[in-house]
Structures are given as structure tokens and as C-alpha cells.
Amino acid sequence: MQAPGIVPRASPEQFELAFWNSIKDSIHASDYEAYLKAYPKGRFAALAQARMARLRTPPAQGTPAAQGTAAQGSPPPVRQKTAPVKPAAPAPRVAASTARHGGEIRDCQSCPALVALPAGTFTMGNNASDPSERPAHQVTIDTPFAIGKFEITVQQWNACATANGCQKVAQAPNTSPSAPMRDVSWDDAQQYVKWLGLISGQPYRLPTEAEWEFAARGGTASPYWWGQQMASGKANCKECGQPWSSDRPANAGSFPPNPYGVHDTSGSVWEWVADCWHNNFKDAPPDGRAWDEPNCRVRVIRGGSWREGAAYMVTSTRFRYDTGVRQSQNGFRVARSLK
């Protein structure tokens, strides 16, 4: 039998339980704030309020906590309206490689590395996993596209923030510039791709859910991109082998890429995609476009995170969050069409 996906049943109660289980040991107040925003009257609301209050209470001066860990539980920055972004002076252009299968593209010095992928047909979803991943269905992506070789890193996000294209988002002390950027909402990710488009002159966006799974599978049809069974050393999760830390994800690219040359699609951080959340794939578009809805406020995240176990590393794993929620396990990678 294949490992289960995110939840045993695609019900609101199980989604809430999965959310709570992913943060219940967190030392970040923003995680409990995110839970309360999604489930203000949830079954764990009182406990979340208590933990958030405790994490936000400054420890007594002179204690070890006052000297070290207090910053980890500090509240997220106050969100402010962002001024209209003025196009920055174009960065020196770096010649892009040809858009062949596996060819690497970098559109500007501040731009993330992309992997060029061909058009193709694949089976999306998984009939033997969670109900939200069913039915498995054929999708044909008609045109080549490029997707981030890695998740967006702290350094890349900070370049956008420094240019006033993105909001500054506090990170834990001693966070590596090469760490995947996290604690960003879907709305935040939209700011980043808009800024990236301005400085590069290219149509950057979030990948569609179909594009994401096509890239994550790396041309395979197995539950994991590396095969039928879980294997150590392939992904950044708590049951996946070293390097692993309960406090934070490993730096981008610390684990090997899949056959398409894309890193960290399993584990590391959950990744926002363009699509509106639907409870399953019934009536999903067969052509790989984003499955959207008017005024959609709940979007799809894919791939699991370093805090989850092996069952979440299945390539078809999917979950959902409100577009405005910042959660410390959530990040993203970018994509763009290839002309």
C-alpha cells in the first residue's frame, strides 16, 4: 500500500487537524496566529491563544530565553499597504540558455535560476492516496515553460524587499541567505513575481498546480520522484535523513535534484501555486492551466515541508491556505512561459 497523503478524509475537520498537527510543537507565535486566522472558532483555538500569548510575553531579563529564544516567538511585522512599485533600473542582463529540456535559464543577476521544461502529457494525482488527490487524470501541457530550479531563497526575497518591491518579512536569527524563504503568503508571492517581471522583462508568475506536479515528478509516474518507496537522503523532512533540523529547513539545494534537475519539491517548505483550492480533481482542466475561480481566497500549496514525515513526501501531496496567511512552513518557487 502507498503511504497516505495529507489527511485520511477530505473533510473540514481533518484539514483543521492536519493544520494543528503541523504547528502544535512550534516555537513561532505567527504559526498559532495563522491557525486562529483560518479557524477562529477551531477546536484548538483556546490552546493556540494561550501559546501565542506565552510566546509573545518577554521573558525576565537575564534568563537564557531573554538572551536567545525570545526573538523566535516574536510577532510577525505589521502589514502595511505597499506603495506602487516603480520599475527599478534594469539589472545587467545575463544571456539565457536555449529552452531545451533541462536547460538552465537566468534572466538577470537578481533572478532565480530556472529549469526549462518541454511540453508533455502526464498523469496528475493519485488514486491510492488522499481523496483530495483523486481522480488521477491525464494532463497535457501544450507549451514549454520554465520553473525555479530551487525555491526562492531569503537572499532573493530580501533583494526584492530592499528595492521596495516586497514587504520585509522577519526571519529567525542566524537564518542563512541560502535558506528557502518562508512565512510568506500567496499575496506576498504575487508581489515578488510582479517585481521580478519588472526587473527582468519576462512574464514571471507562480506555476500552475499542473505545471508544479509535472516538474516535481521529473518524468516519473511513481508515488515519489525517486521510486515506489520512501528512501533516505532524497528530501528534507523529519524522516528523510540528514541534513535535518527541527528548527528550520535545510538550505536550498542541500538534497539531490529530481530527473528534471529541480530541487526540493518534496519537503523543505510548502510551495504556493497559482490555482484556487478544489477538494479534488473532478472537472480539473486537462491542459495544465491554472484552475481559478472569481474572488478566490483559498489557494493550493504543494510538496510538504521539513516538519512533516515521509507520508507527506508523495509527489501528489497537496493542501490549502487562505491567500493572506503567513505560516512559517510556506514558501514558493517561480515559473514563466517560454516563447
What are the boundaries of each domain within the chain?
A: 80-337
Contact 137, 122 (CB under 8 A): no
Could you give phi then psi for residue 227, rounded to 5 degrees?
150, -165
Per DSSP, 180 falls in state B
pLDDT given at position 87: 36
Contact 3, 223 (CB under 8 A): yes
pLDDT given at position 245: 93
Q: What is the DSSP track for 187-248?
A: HHHHHHHHHHHHHH-S-EEPPPHHHHHHHHHTT--SSBTTBSS--TTSSBSTTS-SS--SSS
CB atoms within 10 A of CB 229: 11
pLDDT tens sequence for the chain (339 residues):
444 444 444 556 766 776 777 677 777 787 788 788 878 888 888 888 878 877 887 655 544 444 333 333 333 333 333 333 333 333 333 333 334 456 799 999 999 999 999 999 999 999 998 999 999 999 999 999 999 999 999 999 999 999 999 999 998 889 999 999 999 999 999 999 999 999 999 999 999 999 999 999 999 999 999 999 999 999 999 999 888 999 999 999 999 999 999 999 999 999 999 999 999 999 999 999 999 999 999 999 999 999 999 999 999 999 999 999 999 999 999 999 997
Identity of the residue numbered 227: G
Q: Which residue has the cell 512561459?
A: 337
User: Which distant-in-sequence residues (6+ apart) come within 8 Å of 74 by Cβ?
Assistant: 29, 56, 170
- 80-337 classified as CATH 3.20.20.80: no
Q: Which residue has the cell 526562492?
A: 152
pLDDT given at position 27: 75
Burial (CB count within 10 angstroms: exposed 0-12, middle 13-18, buried 19+), residue 69: middle
Residue 122 grid coordinates = 502526464
pLDDT given at position 339: 73
